[in-house]
Each structure stands twice: as structure tokens, then as C-alpha cells.
Structure 1
Amino acid sequence: LTAGTGLLVNGNKGRTGNLLSKYEHGDVMAAIEYMVPQGSNSGIYFQGRYEIQILDSYGKEKVTFGDNGGVYERWANGKGFGGASPIRNVSKLPGDWQKFIITFRAPRFDKTGKKIENARFVKVVHNGQLIHHNVEVTGPTRSAAFNDEKPTGPLMLQGDHGPVAFQKIVLKPVKLD
């Protein structure tokens, strides 16, 4: 991803490949604007591993990890587990621009490369309202680009689940120790 004034749109049918940034991040604050049509589905993967779900969830009263803003579940042995539902549903109408401001803390490793702390979504603000605070992610979520865990990785925008548009993607490295 490079700076620009245009939009990223994943084709007419919303069934393109995923887009991975050249930039690799550790701890980061991200501001990302997106738009989905009715019934569409996408996701933002921090380090290509940990997903914040994008889904048309407008008007839904009870939301789960699979709804807009959810921390998506992990997957192993044919079963899903984990995940975190947003505190509240603040999704806008399909076709309206929406915004996430996300503070992500990368997993920590010792000198031998052994993971000593899990990744976490320190804060997720959706359309101006807090929806997650200090959510630990024990490993890569379902459909991640990578199944291993590392101190850094690219941002991945999911492009194969339905139409989605992105604009104003800003990643700012931060120190979260």
C-alpha cells in the first residue's frame, strides 16, 4: 500500500485475492476507512494474522465475533474457537463509509524466539465508539496469511469474500511497552 488519494476496490464481484502491504508492522495504531454493500464480508488482518472482521451488520441487535468489528475466531482441527464480540454494534448502513481506529500490540518473544506474550487489540474504536479494550489474541485467526507468529508482519486486506472499498489507510508505529 502506498500513499495516495484514490480508493482500493476489490473488483466488480468482490472475489479478488487478498492484498498484503510491503510495510511490516509490530505495535501500530491504524486508522482505516471502508465501505461494504449489503451482505458483504471482508477483514483487516494485523501482521497478516489477527483479524478484525468487516461485515454488513447494520441493525443487528446481538453481535458475535463474526460481525462487523469482531475479533475473528481461531481455527484448528476443523473447529472454531476464541474470538471476541464487539461491545456494541455501531455499524452504519451498507454503502456508508465507516472507520476503525485500532491500537494493536504485537506478540512478544524472548531472545530464543519463543513467544512470551500474546498479541492484543489494545483498543478498537468503530465509528467513534469503543468496541474492544485489551483483547488478547492467542494465535492467528481463521484464514490468516500466516500460521506462525512473529514480531512483525504486513497488513492484509481480505479481498475474496465480497465487495469492499478502502480509503485513507494510515498506519503509525507506536511503542506499547
Structure 2
Amino acid sequence: MKFSIIGLFCVVFFCSWEREAQKKTASHSVSLNNLSEFNPTTSNWKLARAVRFSPSTDENSFEPGKGIVLNLPAKPDTGHLFTKMHHGDIEVEFDFTIAKKSNSGVYFQGRYEVQIYDSWGVKTPAFYDCGGIYQRWDKNRTSKNGFEGKAPAQNASKAPGEWQHFKIVFRAPRFDKNGEKTENARFVKVLLNGVVIHENVEVTGPTRSAAFEDERPLGPLMFQGDHGPVAIRHIRYTLL
């Protein structure tokens, strides 16, 4: 009888733990019916139901609505888009489309950038091409101010105006009880349009133009808004 009670307790405890673990790792789709899941935005961020970027000219158009968040920067409104959600380890997926020669990026914890760029036709991609992990920057370095950065393993970009897809697994930096960093941030895997372009890439600190210069266990997801037109849809994340 004692064994049965203990066994039953263990089963109940395990099931409760499993349910809690499933809650913590449940995938979440960011609603783009409004911008309520983001911090207050500048006017360059708009909601749309359709977006059209020309693959050959600077022409673009959109239909107001919902389901897509669109960045059309115009000074002085060139602010970034920050989620209210703050994350540590995370898996993120989203679709994006960009205008010809446009430039944006997604920053994990507002600090570590994977580049969004019109790299259509580039034969040998660099760190600043689409899917590249952007370089770090130190104006006080005696040699080159820019350092590190990682080019995608291959160019998997589509033409401007076409919808593309990112899937990114990010591991946050680790800290001890005194707040000292014990492990660097790491991009575990980055896929662009279904092609693996990075695996296990360490990032020793915030990349250039990060929103924050420090490093912490948690931070928001950030989409860059000060460079060029970009549209994003179907944002989904899983906190790992």
C-alpha cells in the first residue's frame, strides 16, 4: 500500500512537472492585428494586409490592414521595434520581405544582430549580407574598429519583394550569482529559407548598433527600423 501511494504521488508529480514544462516551452504566435505585443512605436511602423516591393525599382506600396508589420523609415521617425517579451534562450521564426537595396536586422535581446539585407545575386556573402551575424564595433581599437562578425555559409537569399523565412535558435549568455558572465551568447542554428547558414556561432558581446551596450540574461527581440523598408509577418517564438 505504501509503495502504491508513493508510486501514485510520483506519477502525479511527474505529470504536473511535464505540464509546467510544456507551458514554458509552448510556441507563441505574435499577434499582428495590432501592435500591443510591442513597446510604443514611432510612425515608421505600420500595420498592413499586403505589401509590394518592386524587385527592380524603388517603388513600393501597401494596403492598410493587419497581419503584417511594415517599416517605412522617414526622418525623424526611424525608431526600432521592440517586443514587450524579454527572452533568454529562444527559437524564433518569421517571414520577411525587403525593398531593393534595403537593410534591416533582427537583434536578439536587443544586442546580437542577424542581418536582413537585399543580398540577391551575391556570390560570396559577407557578415553584412542577409543572414550574416553582424560584426562588433569598438572605436578605441588600435587596428580595425570592426571585428568578429560571421558571414552566412552560403547565400540563400531570394529577390527583393519576395517573402523569405528565418528560423533562428539563440542561446543567451550565462552569468554567475555575482552577475559575472561565464559563457558568451551563441547562435546555435540559423536557417534562411530552409538552408542552414550558421551553426554554433559564439558572440562575445553586443554587435554594432545594438540598442544596449551591456549584456544581461534577458532582453527584448528588436527589429531594426532606421535603415530601410522591411515587412515582417508570421512571427512565432518558443522560450527554451
Q: How does 1:5-154 map to 2 (within 5 A)?
A: 6-11=67-72, 13=74, 16-77=78-139, 79-154=145-220
Amino acid at match of 2:136: R
User: Cα offset for 1:11?
Assistant: 2.4
Q: Determine helix, strand or coil for the equivalent of 1:7.
A: strand
1:118 Cα deviation after fit: 0.2
Gapped runs of 5+ residues in structure 2? 1-28, 34-66
Letter in 2 for 1:24: H
Q: Which residue of 2 aligns with 1:4?
A: 32
Tell me if the contact between 1:13 and 1:162 (Cα under 8 Å) persists in the aligned partners. no
Question: Superposition RMSD on alpha carbons, in Å?
Answer: 1.5
CA distance in 2 between counterparts of 1:82 and 1:131 reads 17
Contact residue 48 and residue 155 of structure 1 kept, 8 A: yes
Per the normalisation by structure 1, the TM-score is 0.94
Structure 1 residue runs of 5 or longer lacking an equivalent are none
Conserved? CA contact 1:42–1:157, under 8 Å = yes
Q: Contact conserved, 2:174 with 2:181, CA < 8 A, in 1?
A: yes
CA–CA separation in structure 2 for the residues paired with 1:43 and 1:11: 14
- How far does the alpha carbon of each residue in 1:73-112 deviate from its partner, in whole angstroms, 9 at most, with x for none? 0000261100000000010010000110000000000110
CA–CA separation in structure 1 for the residues paired with 2:220 and 2:200: 21
Larger Rg: 2
More helix as a share of residues = 2
Rounded Cα–Cα distance in structure 2 between residues aligned with 1:65 and 1:11: 24
Q: Distance in 2 between matches of 1:12 and 1:126?
A: 25
CA distance in 1, matches of 2:129, 2:155: 9
Deviant stretches of 4+, over 3 Å: 12-15
Instruction: Confirm or deny: 8 A CA contact 1:13 1:163 kept in the other structure.
Output: no
TM-score, structure 2 as length reference: 0.70
Identity across the alignment (%):
55
Name the SS for the 1:39 alignment partner: coil
